[in-house]
Amino acid sequence: MDKNYACYLCKGCGLGEALDFEALEEALEDSDISEVKDHEALCSPEGVALIQADIDGGVNAVLIGACSARVKTDEFTFGKEVLVERVPLREQGLWCSEAEYEDEEEAGEDRQMLADDYLRMHAAKLGKAEIGEPFQLEEDVEKGVMVVGGGVAGINAALAAAKAGAPVCLVEKEDALGGYLGKMAKLGPQSPPYQELQDTGLEELVAEVEAADNIKVFTGATVEKTEGAPGNFSVTLSNGESFRAGAIVQATGWNPYEAEKLADELAYGTSDKIVSNVQFEEKAKAGDLGGINGVAFIQCAGSRDENHLPYCSAVCCLVSLKQAMYVKEANPEAAVYVIYKDIRTPGQSEEVYRQAQELGVVFIRRGEDYPAISGSGPFAIETQDVTLNDTVEIEDLDMVVLATGMVPNNPSVVEPPLVALGMDQDEAAKLAEEAKAASDDWSVLNLEYRQGPNLPTLKYGYPDSHFICFPYETRRTGIYAAGAVRRPMRVTQATEDATGAALKAMQSTRAAEAGVAVHPRSGDDTFPDFFMQRCTQCKRCTEECPFGAINEDAEANPLPNPTRCRRCGVCMGACPERIISFTDYSVDMIGSMIKSIEVPDEDEEKPRVIVLACENDALPAIDLAAKNGAKWSPYVRFIPLRCLGSLNLVWIADALASGIDGILLFGCKRGDDYQCHFIKGSELANVRMSKISETLDRLVLESDRVRVEEIGFGEVDKIPGILDEFMETMEEVGPNPYKGF
């Protein structure tokens, strides 16, 4: 594109007094920007009008030196045809740099250098940015949604999508819809005053599905193959049917934790009167609960136990309360005991707990040890009673119910450790092979993805997602998990979950149609562009993309699927040939920003530190810290990255070679409880950093010069401390010997 530049500098918010505007203008001398204007308050209607008038006169590349790009977004957006680059002079220049100086003049000088640098850096980026066209699929974008699983979540997802206007294909492996809902006798109390058991409501739900003219139901069928990408999936079922889908909701529910595994601890299998909660429910449904005078429910049967299911299934407490109510309803005189570790009844479910107590159910708190069950009916139980601080015995029990937990009905995927990436290829292949062997060998969706047929999972087999921010997402764009396959949950929660996932699925078809990203970069219309001629087929991009966006073509070249892409730039960071770029984000652009920092000579004793910061959490935290009045060294320059995972090692080498003294990398928390918005980004950045030592050795530099820090948005207060400490380290290691070369 032919660019017609202009730069606008704001004198508001104290910038006018603090900075020398002539100097700022001079800083742009070596750039293509010759038109520089200033205004008392750029975000005011007059200021915006000033910019707009120039745009109307033909300006299409605008550099705005004012506040952070995270604020005043409405004011400084000028439509798709205009490139806008914001220079955060206020947050990262003015607010953070008022350190106490003996010498007023020197303070002014340091701050001016900071502002000049920022202006040059962002001008360099603007100089390389382009306006691109959003990606368009060759095929028509399909708006229909496939829902896999016809239980409570699946049915509700189908209904929600259909009501919102999307055609739905609902696939259920059994011969009838219902899933576990169909196996339940009753639901526990669902509405105030939370005292009455309720009907499951399945018949009404199924009738609603049958009445909907845009839901096609396939029962007795599973998914044989899913290929394509959001907006254009083609699905083949086991019954030979095939159809297109724009997005997918996986609502395959759960399986009970196998009570057989509790034979040693809880005598399961020694009598048909020692049953799991699922079996007890079946009995209740069959009307087979007569003649119970004594019953004990044993909570956390296998749950919250490192040897079995380490997590809490969050439903079995409520299920036992409900089942205790069944017994009390059939026989109010029955002695009903619930032997628990903790009763977990979140929210209004506490009322159900009360109701069970009112009915005379007795609750006994046990410790970690399982109660000992003896006899062959009637049974006796010996258990620790924490509230009596004693061991107690319960006799005359006609039945013992083991409250087992939920396991997701989804194959668990063990990913090869990330360190395998970029290491010796044979070793990496071996680790990948081992991981594959450890994964279950079945599949729900049978994805035709280079990265495997299944959704990547967390350690318990639940589909991986950024749990807090994007609950329904999986690591395969356009495929959303709902209900108990996502996390253990009960019927009401699964119903809500289904609606959420269905709407997300529909949203993703809309995004595919518009050629924009889904969360977390919703609306971003850039996408990675591969300069294929230089590709060496190293496969790092296909391996490292957290979302499996890149397949391989017949010649083993990477084959991007832009509608699967979340625009994190991890591929860009991974590519050793640096052939992957976005129109407004590339290895070259960030490299140019780094190179446009002016590095003072060693004898000036003004070190330079760059911070490559994740723009999802770290950058907002930095802005907020500055806003809250935190101060730090004026020798620090921040460069925003889409994700720390887009970090390309060449930036580090470039920076050190150009005399920058130190480099900090700010990313999100990694590991099991990761906070990375692109799931693997910060993890990958760390793996890459572990290899940086080679570069440092080659340059004969100290490893202290590069450091990775995890910053959450809530950790605003940590920022000045980290920066101060790093500056001290820089003082200790001394100036970068490459200065001036």
Partner 1 sequence: MATKAYDKSFREEVYDKVDAGEEIKLCMQCGVCGITCPLRDEMTYGPRQIWSLIRAGKRDEVMNCSDIMLCTSCYTCKVRCPRGVKVIDVMHGLAHYALQEGIVPRENTSKFGKFFWNSIYKTGRIDETEVPMRYSMRRGPIHGIFETLEMMDIGRALLSHKRMHFKLGPGIPPSKKIKGIKGLKKMLDKAEAMSPGKEA
- Distance (Å, whole) CA 343 – CA 327: 19
Binding segment toward partner 1, per CB under 8 A, in 105-113, 284-292, 358-366, 651-659: 358-366
Binding segment toward partner 1, per CB under 8 A, in 300-308, 381-389, 603-611, 625-633: 381-389
324 is a contact residue toward ligand SF4 (CB under 6 A): no
Q: Which of residues 394-433 bind partner 1 (CB under 8 A)?
A: 394-395
Closest approach of partner 1 to the CB of residue 374, in Å: 11
Structure tokens at 521: 């970069």
Identity of the residue, 377 or 737, whose beta carbon is nearer to partner 1 in the bound complex: 377
Binding segment toward partner 1, per CB under 8 A, in 322-330, 355-363, 565-573, 671-679: 355-363
362 is a contact residue toward ligand SF4 (CB under 6 A): no
Check if the beta carbon of residue 448 is closer than 8 Å to that of residue 225: yes
Residues near partner 1 (CB under 8 A), total: 23
Closest approach of ligand SF4 to the CB of residue 577, in Å: 14
299 is a contact residue toward ligand SF4 (CB under 6 A): yes
In what side-by-side order are the strands of the sheet with 479-481? 215-218, 168-171, 145-148, 247-250, 479-481
403 is a contact residue toward ligand SF4 (CB under 6 A): yes
What single-letter amino acid sits at 92?
Q
Residue 18's φ and ψ, nearest 5 degrees, are -85, -25
353 is a contact residue toward ligand SF4 (CB under 6 A): no
Q: DSSP alpha helices (H): ranges in 253-380?
A: 263-266, 277-285, 316-330, 349-358
Closest approach of partner 1 to the CB of residue 343, in Å: 7
30 is a contact residue toward partner 1 (CB under 8 A): no
CB-based contacts of 324-327 (< 8 A; 24+ apart in sequence): 324/295, 324/297, 324/356, 324/359, 324/361, 325/188, 325/197, 325/355, 325/356, 325/359, 325/361, 326/185, 326/186, 326/197, 326/284, 326/289, 327/289, 327/292, 327/295
Identity of the residue, 373 or 570, whose beta carbon is nearer to ligand SF4 in the bound complex: 570
Identity of the residue, 88 or 515, whose beta carbon is nearer to ligand SF4 in the bound complex: 515
Residue 489's φ and ψ, nearest 5 degrees, are -160, 165
Residue 533 touches which of partner 1, ligand SF4, none (Cβ within 5-8 Å per kind): none
Check if the beta carbon of residue 83 is closer than 8 Å to that of residue 123: no
Q: Quick one: which of 365, 578, 595, 631 contacts partner 1 (CB under 8 A)? A: 365
Closest approach of ligand SF4 to the CB of residue 679, in Å: 10
The DSSP code sequence of 627-674 is: HTT----TTEEEEEES-GGG--HHHHHHHHHTT--EEEEEE---STT-
Closest approach of ligand SF4 to the CB of residue 314, in Å: 5
Binding segment toward partner 1, per CB under 8 A, in 76-84, 385-393, 424-432, 633-641: 385-393
Identity of the residue, 237 or 336, whose beta carbon is nearer to partner 1 in the bound complex: 336
Q: Which has the closest alpha carbon to 726: 668, 659, 663, 657? A: 663
Identity of the residue, 364 or 719, whose beta carbon is nearer to partner 1 in the bound complex: 364
For residues 421, 423, 425, 430, the Cα torsion angle rounded to the nearest 10 degrees is -70
Identity of the residue, 378 or 712, whose beta carbon is nearer to partner 1 in the bound complex: 378
Q: Quick one: which of 216, 285, 304, 718 contacts ligand SF4 (CB under 6 A)? A: 304
Check if the beta carbon of residue 647 is closer than 8 Å to that of residue 641: yes
Check if the beta carbon of residue 277 is closer than 8 Å to that of residue 403: yes
- Distance (Å, whole) CA 508 – CA 516: 9
Q: Quick one: which of 388, 438, 469, 556 contacts partner 1 (CB under 8 A)? A: 388
Structure tokens at 439: 């994964």
Structure tokens at 388: 């009596």
Q: Which has the closest alpha carbon to 633: 736, 704, 739, 725? A: 725
- Distance (Å, whole) CA 676 – CA 645: 9
Closest approach of ligand SF4 to the CB of residue 549, in Å: 4
Q: Quick one: which of 149, 228, 253, 528 contacts ligand SF4 (CB under 6 A)? A: 528
366 is a contact residue toward ligand SF4 (CB under 6 A): no
Q: Quick one: which of 195, 219, 236, 357 contacts partner 1 (CB under 8 A)? A: 357
147 is a contact residue toward ligand SF4 (CB under 6 A): no
Q: Which of residues 550-579 bind ligand SF4 (CB under 6 A)?
A: 550, 565-571
Q: Site mask, partner 1, residues 309-348, x = CB under 8 A? A: --------------------------x-x-----x-----
- Distance (Å, whole) CA 73 – CA 506: 27
The DSSP code sequence of 392-431 is: EEEEEESEEEE---EEESS---PPPPGGGTTS-HHHHHHH
387 is a contact residue toward partner 1 (CB under 8 A): yes
- Distance (Å, whole) CA 292 – CA 308: 30
Closest approach of ligand SF4 to the CB of residue 670, in Å: 16
Q: How many CA atoms lie within 13 A of 406 on its CB side?
A: 23
The DSSP code sequence of 514-557 is: HT---TTSTT-----EE-GGG-----HHHHH-TT--EEE-TTS-
Identity of the residue, 139 or 342, whose beta carbon is nearer to partner 1 in the bound complex: 342
Residue 337 touches which of ligand SF4, partner 1, none (Cβ within 5-8 Å per kind): partner 1
The residues, any chain, with a CB within 8 Å of residue 291's CB and separated by 6 or more, are 398
Residues paired with 636 in a beta bridge:
609
Q: Which of residues 276-295 bind partner 1 (CB under 8 A)?
A: none
Check if the beta carbon of residue 717 is closer than 8 Å to that of residue 624: no
Binding segment toward ligand SF4, per CB under 6 A, in 77-85, 158-166, 297-305, 505-513: 297-305
Closest approach of partner 1 to the CB of residue 273, in Å: 18
312 is a contact residue toward ligand SF4 (CB under 6 A): yes
Question: Using the 8-state DSSP alphabet, how is residue 95 labeled?
Answer: I
Strands 232-237 and 242-245 come out as: antiparallel
Binding segment toward ligand SF4, per CB under 6 A, in 90-98, 466-474, 542-550, 595-603: 542-550
Residue 362's φ and ψ, nearest 5 degrees, are -100, 130
What single-letter amino acid sits at 664?
L
Check if the beta carbon of residue 320 is closer than 8 Å to that of residue 352: no
Identity of the residue, 5 or 353, whose beta carbon is nearer to partner 1 in the bound complex: 353
314 is a contact residue toward ligand SF4 (CB under 6 A): yes
369 is a contact residue toward partner 1 (CB under 8 A): no
Identity of the residue, 383 or 561, whose beta carbon is nearer to partner 1 in the bound complex: 383
Residue 335 touches which of partner 1, ligand SF4, none (Cβ within 5-8 Å per kind): partner 1
Give the count of beta carbons closer than 10 Å to the beta carbon of residue 244.
Answer: 18
Residue 684 touches which of ligand SF4, partner 1, none (Cβ within 5-8 Å per kind): none
300 is a contact residue toward ligand SF4 (CB under 6 A): yes
Residues paired with 169 in a beta bridge:
146, 216
Residues near ligand SF4 (CB under 6 A), total: 27
Residue 313 touches which of partner 1, ligand SF4, none (Cβ within 5-8 Å per kind): ligand SF4
Check if the beta carbon of residue 168 is closer than 8 Å to that of residue 147: yes
Q: How far, in Å, are 33, 430, 537, 690 from residue 421 at the CA level?
A: 42, 12, 14, 12
Binding segment toward partner 1, per CB under 8 A, in 6-14, 387-395, 674-682, 704-712: 387-395
443 is a contact residue toward ligand SF4 (CB under 6 A): no
380 is a contact residue toward partner 1 (CB under 8 A): yes
1 is a contact residue toward partner 1 (CB under 8 A): no
Binding segment toward partner 1, per CB under 8 A, in 383-391, 433-441, 666-674, 708-716: 383-391
Residues that bind partner 1 (CB under 8 A): 335, 337, 343, 353-354, 357-358, 360, 362-365, 380, 382, 385, 387-388, 390-395
Residues that bind ligand SF4 (CB under 6 A): 299-300, 303-304, 312-317, 341-342, 344, 403, 405, 528, 545, 547, 549-550, 565-571
